Structure 1
């Protein structure tokens, strides 16, 4: 864990927390902010800001987002090396593991706020976010990958690349449909099948991408959130048969999976064995670590992966800095990069950017005031703006393709005009 404040600061923090608890119980002040007195705001002392995370380190399927924690640590380490935020270092206590379990997600949120007394939760990366209402109520700035509805609307919750699962009135990022159209030589006369897990995230994903691909000119021949979310199916034949006859008795031109790696490996392997030769694509399998096993590499060979950040293959100064920060956080080792690292890194980066704008008098209220007029440009996720990002995607992304044991950029990083979500 990244704990730059030691004995004296710990004693000061303890005194501040005791004062905060007493104030909250006696004067009716809001749980998140206890006034402008130095040290009176939860998680903020004279020289530190305490931050924690919630990450699915483990899951029933074996899928792990643990490197999200490393990505966040990398960004906070650099922030501290550069002097912190308005004179305060970041006391990053690491991430709680929710195991992709709703009950554990809520418990992790409560622990971070009620026991650890964090000012912010960044990153939050899971397929469940049952703790969102609690964090919003307690005025805890929270940052993560905006693939869940809770990142789209609540005042204190932010997607690092905006809202990716909008409600009516919001917009949809068109990077994926536009990228697949480019690969297929256009969308006219082309069809796609969209499949997801039977979960809230899966259902929202299907609704979103069904509209997105339809608006781009594709025929959506199949769109179901029907795969169990608790365990990877051992037999994919029913799903494969239904998809491969969905286009008027024929196979679709592309199969779009809105699922995680274990499911994608099973589905794509079954589709290939059934003779499918169309485009396979998903938003999760950009991870060089997946190439270590022959079976995994073969299952994902030829798959196009959606990214909502610059590919690691980019030679931009921002990407070079990201790679250097990850190496430093990993103790000087060159570790395989993956999208979970980017989730943690850019969640931390957005938090730091807004906190910097909030100034020395940091409270939940001053943080939100700064967020309401925040914007910057040229980041690894494109141009950012709040509160736009709590309703809309930032609209940028790329597609990479896995082939011959390596990733290559298939559609370069670019920003597309989003469409209204209905």
Structure 2
């Protein structure tokens, strides 16, 4: 059914309901007994659909793209619709707005989705900037994305698909990365780590968070700086390499942890290897088989341990097999290389759908929020999910994979760690 026809149908249904309620009132029957009455007055919800959109950095000045986040979300919504929708309502996914990793465009995208498209929810939201957060919170729009930004930690309408990863004081820190690196290095005692990030709000917060996490795990933090420009990848990494390699009492640290995106990681890791660095390299972004297509990229990332906050694609669990089948269906039956952006979109959509399913037929923002306050489930690709705990703490689970000889191997299996208080 086309949107204009659906709109006319909804309007006709609303008119019929008003007449029915007036008639019922004259018979002494209380109005409002129809469970879908409130939903028909809810933005983005009709008798037969729920409208959802996304915000993703499809294009960036560095060439880095999260476009496959959209494919992941589509895959999950396609399966939901194939299974009958959410209590009879199909998901009307209007697609994603490209914010170009630009704060102004992020806010504009949020405004468009709400004010023009009239979405009930934003799922996914995947960008290093989230200037639209206050607007979405103010407009009471349930929003789902990767909880690597402070906006996903606290506001009542914003949800990280794997919880809050950058908490405020009083929250907790996910220890998957430090504990995983300790296993790779044979223990943290006597080991040093250098942490480097972009000079951005996210980078500064990441350094602050991981400095505490690695220290709590027993590492000596020799270097921790958000010093790399966020708007352009440096052409010369020599100054950064020199500083890192002399950070541990004049010597090199045992591990270098980069809290940056792929283009910067490639430049930094290549420069470190050329400087004969023999320690462990790690980052949280470069789990993408598509990166292996180019020799230079594959060589730069060879040996790097990548942090995952979800089950590795190499696992054989039912949830992972379902994910792979859904991605293949959304890609028109093609076997496409899997990447973490797909997982980000997929699990953002999955958390939204899981909460909506528990709401029931009477879907309103208020009922959605009330249901989220007591939501929990187990055995997902990101572990056990619990809300509203996840708006203050991470779900605490993850794994490490290492690129070796052109393929990813699990170096630390998916497991959960007790988070630590963030100070």
- Pick the TM interval, shorter chain: over 0.9
Distance 1:247 1:210 in 2: 15
Provide the residue aligned with 1:373 in structure 2: 374
CA contact (8 A) 1:5 1:91 kept: no
Aligned pair in 2 of structure 1 residues 229, 13: CA closer, same or farther (>3 Å)?
Answer: farther
Provide the residue aligned with 1:287 in structure 2: 288
Provide the residue aligned with 2:40 in structure 1: 39
Once the two structures are TM-superposed, the CA of residue 9 in structure 1 deviates from its matched residue by 1.8
Distance 2:71 2:12 in 1: 30
Considering only CA atoms, is the larger Rg found in Structure 1 or Structure 2?
2
Once the two structures are TM-superposed, the CA of residue 16 in structure 1 deviates from its matched residue by 9.4
Once the two structures are superposed, what CA deviation does each residue of 1:98-156 show, in whole Å capped at 9, x if it has no partner? 00000000000000000000000000000000000000000000000000000000000
CA contact (8 A) 1:97 1:108 kept: yes
Aligned pair in 2 of structure 1 residues 50, 14: CA closer, same or farther (>3 Å)?
Answer: farther
Equivalent in 3, 6, 9 of residue 6 of structure 2: 9
Distance 2:322 2:185 in 1: 34
Distance 1:300 1:16 in 2: 58
Once the two structures are TM-superposed, the CA of residue 391 in structure 1 deviates from its matched residue by 0.1
CA contact (8 A) 1:193 1:223 kept: yes
Further displaced range: 170-179 or 36-45: 36-45
Distance 1:137 1:326 in 2: 33
Distance 2:191 2:205 in 1: 23
Once the two structures are TM-superposed, the CA of residue 39 in structure 1 deviates from its matched residue by 1.6
Distance 1:148 1:131 in 2: 12
Once the two structures are TM-superposed, the CA of residue 13 in structure 1 deviates from its matched residue by 5.6
Once the two structures are TM-superposed, the CA of residue 8 in structure 1 deviates from its matched residue by 3.0
Aligned pair in 2 of structure 1 residues 75, 189: CA closer, same or farther (>3 Å)?
Answer: same
CA contact (8 A) 1:195 1:257 kept: yes
- Give the number of equivalent residue pairs: 403
SS at 2:38 equivalent: coil
Provide the residue aligned with 2:260 in structure 1: 259
Once the two structures are superposed, what CA deviation does each residue of 1:311-362 show, in whole Å capped at 9, x if it has no partner? 0000111100000000000000000000000000000000000011111111
SS at 2:80 equivalent: helix
> Is 2:169 aligned against 1:172?
no
Provide the residue aligned with 1:229 in structure 2: 230
> Unpaired segments of 5 or more residues in structure 2?
15-35
Once the two structures are TM-superposed, the CA of residue 201 in structure 1 deviates from its matched residue by 0.5
Aligned pair in 2 of structure 1 residues 150, 36: CA closer, same or farther (>3 Å)?
Answer: farther
Q: What is the alpha-carbon root mean square deviation over aligned residues? A: 1.5
> Is 2:128 aligned against 1:121?
no
Provide the residue aligned with 1:359 in structure 2: 360
Once the two structures are superposed, what CA deviation does each residue of 1:225-253 show, in whole Å capped at 9, x if it has no partner? 01000000000000000000000000000
Aligned pair in 2 of structure 1 residues 192, 16: CA closer, same or farther (>3 Å)?
Answer: farther
Aligned pair in 2 of structure 1 residues 269, 113: CA closer, same or farther (>3 Å)?
Answer: same
> Unpaired segments of 5 or more residues in structure 1?
18-34
User: How do 1:94-113 and structure 2 match up within 5 A?
Assistant: 94-113=95-114
> Is 2:343 aligned against 1:346?
no
Distance 1:13 1:317 in 2: 39
SS at 1:373 equivalent: coil
User: How do 1:15-414 and structure 2 match up within 5 A?
Assistant: 36-414=37-415
Runs of 4+ in 1 over 2 A off after TM superposition: 4-8, 10-17, 35-38
Once the two structures are TM-superposed, the CA of residue 37 in structure 1 deviates from its matched residue by 3.2
Provide the residue aligned with 1:421 in structure 2: 422
Distance 2:11 2:305 in 1: 50
- What TM-score do the two structures reach when normalised by structure 1? 0.94
Distance 1:158 1:109 in 2: 15
Aligned pair in 2 of structure 1 residues 38, 264: CA closer, same or farther (>3 Å)?
Answer: closer
CA contact (8 A) 1:49 1:90 kept: yes
- What TM-score do the two structures reach when normalised by structure 2? 0.93
Once the two structures are superposed, what CA deviation does each residue of 1:287-330 show, in whole Å capped at 9, x if it has no partner? 00000000000000000000000000001111000000000000
SS at 1:209 equivalent: helix
Aligned pair in 2 of structure 1 residues 184, 13: CA closer, same or farther (>3 Å)?
Answer: farther
CA contact (8 A) 1:5 1:48 kept: no
Distance 1:187 1:268 in 2: 22
Distance 1:63 1:277 in 2: 27
Aligned pair in 2 of structure 1 residues 126, 16: CA closer, same or farther (>3 Å)?
Answer: farther
Distance 2:339 2:52 in 1: 23
CA contact (8 A) 1:190 1:253 kept: yes
Provide the residue aligned with 1:26 in structure 2: none
